[in-house]
Amino acid sequence: MRLLAALDRAAEEAGALARLGARAAAGLFTPPFDFRAGIEQMDQIGVRSLGVAGITTVFTGMVMALQTAYSLPGLGVKYYIGTVVSKSLVRELAPVLVALIVGGRIGSGMTAELGTMKVTEQIDALRSMAADPVKKLVVPKLAATLVMLPALTLLGDLLGILGGLLIAVFQLDLTAAFYANDVISSLTLEDVVSGVGKSFFFAFFITVVGCHNGLTAEGGADGVGRATTNTVVLASILILVSDFFLTKLFYLVG
C-alpha cells in the first residue's frame, strides 16, 4: 500500500510539473512580454553566478589535466591533455557541473522567493487582481535561465580549458601553443552544440522544479525550507538522469 501511495504521489507530482512546464513554455511566446523583469532575472540568475561557475570549471579543468597525466604516464597521455580536457569539459563536465552548482543556487532561490510569497498569501493576492502568477512570476525566470545557463556553460568551457592550459604549461612542461593546437584540432562544433544543447534542458528542469515547489509550498517558514531542500534534490536528480539520455540522443543525432 505504501508503495502504491508513493507511486501515486510521484505521478501527481510529475503531472503538476508537466502542466507548469507547458504553461510556462507557452507564456514565453504569449504577449505581453515583461522585458524588464526578464533582465532583472538575468542579472540575478546569471551575472551573480559568474563567480561560482568560473571557480568550479577552472579547477575542474586543472584537476582533469593533472589526473590524466599522472594516472597514465607510460602511455604519453600528457601530450593529448588538450584533447582530453576539452572533449570531456565541453561535452559533459561543464554543462553538468554548471547546472548542478548554479542550478542549486538559483533553483533554491526561486523556491524560497515564491514559497515566501505563497505562505504570505501574495500569490492569492495576484490571482484576486486577475493576474496569472505563472505569467507574472515563472515566465521571466524561465526566459532568463534559458539564456543565462547556456551562456555560463560556454564561459565554463573556456575557463575549464584555460585551467587545463595552466597545468599543461606549469606542471607538465608543455607549451601553450602545443596545448592550444591539440584543443583546436580535436574540438568540433558537434561537441559544443551537444554541451550547450544539454544546458537548455537543464535550465528548463531547474526553473520548473524550483517554481513548482515554491508555488505549492505550505506550512510557513518550515514548509518553505522543506520545499527549498526538495528543489535542490529533485533538480539534481533530473539533471543527472536526463544527462544520460541527452548524451545518447546527441551522439545519435551527431
In a domain, 24, yes or no: no
CA 134 to each of CA 17, 45, 54, 137, 213: distance values in angstroms, whole numbers, following the listed order: 12, 18, 31, 5, 13
Residue 108 lies in a domain: yes
Residue 193 belongs to some domain of the structure: yes
Q: Which residue is listed with cell 510529475?
A: 14
pLDDT value, residue 48: 87
Q: Is the peptide bond before 150 cis (omega within 30 degrees of 0)?
A: no
Grid coordinates of 216: 505549492
Residue-number span of the structural domain to which 227 is assigned = 32-253
Joined together, the cell numbers standing for residue 143 give 526566459
**pLDDT tens digits, one per residue of 172-223:** 888 899 999 989 998 988 999 999 999 999 999 999 999 999 998 888 888 8
pLDDT digits (tens, 9 = 90+) for 110-157: 999 999 988 888 888 888 887 888 999 999 999 999 999 999 999 999
Identify the pLDDT of residue 72: 65
Is residue 179, in this structure, part of any structural domain at all? yes
Length of the chain: 254
Total of domains in the chain: 1
Distance from C-alpha of 77 to C-alpha of 71, rounded to nearest angstrom: 9
Which region among 29-43, 59-73, 112-126 has the lowest average model confidence (pLDDT)? 59-73
Structural domain contains residue 207: yes
C-alpha cell at 2: 505504501
What is residue 172's predicted lDDT score, i.e. its pLDDT? 83
Q: Mean of the per-residue pLDDT values for the chain?
A: 89
Backbone dihedral region of 121: left (phi > 0), alpha (psi from -120 to 50 degrees) or beta? left
- Lowest-confidence segment of 15-19, 100-104, 130-134 by average pLDDT: 130-134
| pLDDT on residue 124 | 84
Distance CA 219, CA 248 (A): 41
In a domain, 211, yes or no: yes
How far apart (Å, rounded) are the C-alpha atoms in residues 189 and 124? Answer: 47
pTM: 0.92
Instruction: pLDDT band for 73, please (50, 70, 90 cuts).
Output: low
In a domain, 139, yes or no: yes
**How confident is the model at residue 125, as a pLDDT?**
87
CA–CA distance, 45 with 137 (Å, rounded to integer): 14
User: How far apart are the C-alpha atoms of 226 and 240, rounded to whole Å?
Assistant: 21
C-alpha cell at 98: 554548471
Backbone φ and ψ for 132, nearest 5 degrees, come out as -85, 115
**Is residue 6 situated within a structural domain?**
no
Cα 210 to Cα 139: distance, rounded to the nearest angstrom: 12
pLDDT of residue 211: 93
Cβ atoms of residues 205 and 239 within 8 Å: yes
Which single residue is written with the C-alpha cell 568550479? 56
